[in-house]
């Protein structure tokens, strides 16, 4: 019965889910109409909010392009490919393969969300090369992406780290309730967070295992030759190279740049401890790629191959920035869609239910504002004062927001774009499987936040 439900979800999504770009367009129109209907703003005001926000994610867009390109480039290096291949040789059947992909991606996502997103997809592709396992390729990629939910309870959590940082303006972000930081020991490493992490670390891999198609005709395999990226190029004999070509094929150049990069990375960790953000992750991927490819010529050819999958990110992220502009845009009434969504859940909450309703409101708002830090800046000034007034745990509300923000990523294709580009799949290929996770995580988090 469970597998029949999964296959029905897969077929439903394949039929009805539009391309992620059209999804963003439809969401743009929906936000536009909702803003007019619920915030008493004019169509012209909503269009202006859209236009003013449209380029608000340019820096983040470039970071996401680089996480895709540098990660994909690193994966093409012979040494890295051999390492992934060795790890992919561990599973003995399709069931163990899906479980291993989920666990590896979960651990990587807990360390850093960008690292997990790229590594999970790359590892799933490596597993797919083992055709004797007969593991559904769509499910492998969906399994790697399902582990993305471990991000906000991990070492790169937007809300948890923001509330622990001394540089945060706590008076503003907490609506005047807090005057200083909340340590991660009370949020990311609190007992209730650890319990939830362990619960999902056990259940999510098992759910992915249970979704394996039973009928052979339902299994979608991929030709391993389509997963190969040929970047090998026979270099000219050195005697026939021009001075420019000798520089392009010089290992000394790559290694000198690599040494400089390693100094930067070591200095970062000495100064900041084990702190990972997108910039340092991208920098490590970039330097590792330069070193492992050996020569500038080989590295640049790998980059040229990798950048071909970045089109979706480049085009779609500005539209989501425009949607964010409409969601947070305030009219003469002083209302915004973000305020209305959050206030609505607060109005029906009490001390016991506020964490659960915070989770639900974060999940809803995430559909329109798929930015962890950006969304928390919107919701924190509403949720933290509400927790203070109702006598609820502020720390628990912070983590409830974190779980809610990753929950609807199982439906929102925004964050899946890099993984889909690496895998060469469409959103509709994996979202049918992820609907099962959307339902499970929604129910499980709602209950756990009530009882823990």
- pLDDT for 33 beyond 70: yes
Round the average pLDDT of the chain to a whole number and report it: 89
- pLDDT for 309 beyond 80: no
Please list, residue by residue across 38-61, b when 16 or more beta carbons sit within 10 angstroms of its beta carbon and e when fewer do: ebebeeebbeebbeebbebbeebb
Q: Tell me the pLDDT band of 232, cut-offs 50, 70 and 90.
A: low
* Mean pLDDT value across residues 1-30: 88
Task: Quote the pLDDT of residue 234.
Answer: 57
Q: Which two tokens stand for residue 169?
A: 């303006």
- pLDDT for 276 beyond 90: no
More confident residue, 237 or 36: 36
| pTM for this predicted structure | 0.86
Q: Looking at 208-212, 327-331, 354-358, 441-445, which range is the least confident one? A: 327-331
Residue 156 has, within 13 A of its CA and on its CB side, a CA count of: 24
Distance CA 107, CA 110 (A): 5
Residue 395's Cα: distance from chain center in Å?
23
Task: Quote the pLDDT of residue 143.
Answer: 96
Closest CA relative to residue 336, chosen from 45, 98, 80: 45
More confident residue, 240 or 66: 66
Contact, 50 vs 319, CB < 8 A? no
């Amino acid at each position: 019965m469970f597998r029949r439900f999964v296959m029905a979800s897969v077929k439903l999504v394949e039929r009805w889910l539009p391309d992620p770009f059209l999804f963003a367009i439809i969401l743009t129109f929906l936000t536009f109409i909702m803003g007019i209907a619920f915030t008493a703003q004019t169509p012209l005001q909503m269009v202006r909010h859209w236009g003013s926000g449209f380029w608000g994610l340019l820096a983040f867009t470039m970071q996401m392009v680089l996480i895709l390109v540098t990660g994909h480039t690193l994966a093409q290096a012979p040494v890295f490919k051999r390492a992934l291949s060795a790890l992919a040789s561990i599973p003995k059947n399709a069931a163990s393969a899906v479980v291993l992909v989920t666990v590896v991606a979960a651990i990587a996502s807990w360390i850093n969300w960008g690292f997990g997103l790229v590594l999970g997809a790359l590892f799933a592709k490596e597993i797919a090369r083992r055709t004797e396992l007969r593991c559904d390729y769509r499910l492998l990629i969906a399994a790697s992406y399902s582990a993305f939910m471990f991000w906000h309870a991990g070492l790169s959590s937007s809300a948890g780290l923001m509330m622990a940082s001394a540089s945060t303006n706590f008076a503003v972000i907490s609506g005047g309730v807090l005057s200083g930081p909340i340590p991660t020991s009370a949020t990311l490493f609190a007992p209730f967070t650890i319990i939830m992490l362990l619960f999902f670390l056990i259940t999510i891999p098992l759910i992915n295992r249970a979704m394996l198609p039973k009928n052979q005709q339902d299994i979608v395999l991929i030709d391993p030759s389509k997963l190969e990226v040929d970047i090998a190029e026979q270099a000219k004999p050195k005697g026939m190279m021009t001075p420019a070509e000798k520089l392009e094929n010089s290992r000394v150049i790559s290694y000198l740049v690599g040494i400089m990069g390693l100094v930067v990375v070591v200095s970062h960790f000495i100064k900041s401890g084990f702190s990972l953000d997108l910039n340092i992750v991208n920098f490590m991927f970039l330097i590792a790629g330069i070193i492992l490819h050996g020569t500038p010529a080989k590295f640049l050819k790998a980059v040229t191959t990798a950048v071909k999958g970045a089109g979706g990110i480049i085009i779609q992220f500005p539209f989501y920035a425009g949607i964010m502009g409409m969601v947070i845009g305030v009219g003469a009434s002083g209302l915004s869609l973000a305020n209305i969504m959050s206030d609505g859940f607060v109005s029906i909450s009490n001390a016991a239910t506020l964490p659960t309703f915070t989770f639900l409101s974060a999940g809803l708002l995430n559909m329109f504002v798929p930015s962890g830090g950006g969304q928390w800046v919107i919701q924190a000034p509403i949720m933290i004062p509400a927790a203070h007034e109702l006598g609820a745990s502020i720390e628990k509300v912070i983590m409830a927001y974190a779980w809610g923000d990753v929950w609807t990523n199982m439906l929102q294709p925004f964050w899946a774009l890099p993984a889909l580009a690496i895998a060469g799949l469409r959103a509709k290929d994996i979202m049918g499987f992820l609907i099962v996770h959307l339902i499970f995580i929604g129910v499980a988090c709602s209950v756990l936040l009530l009882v823990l």
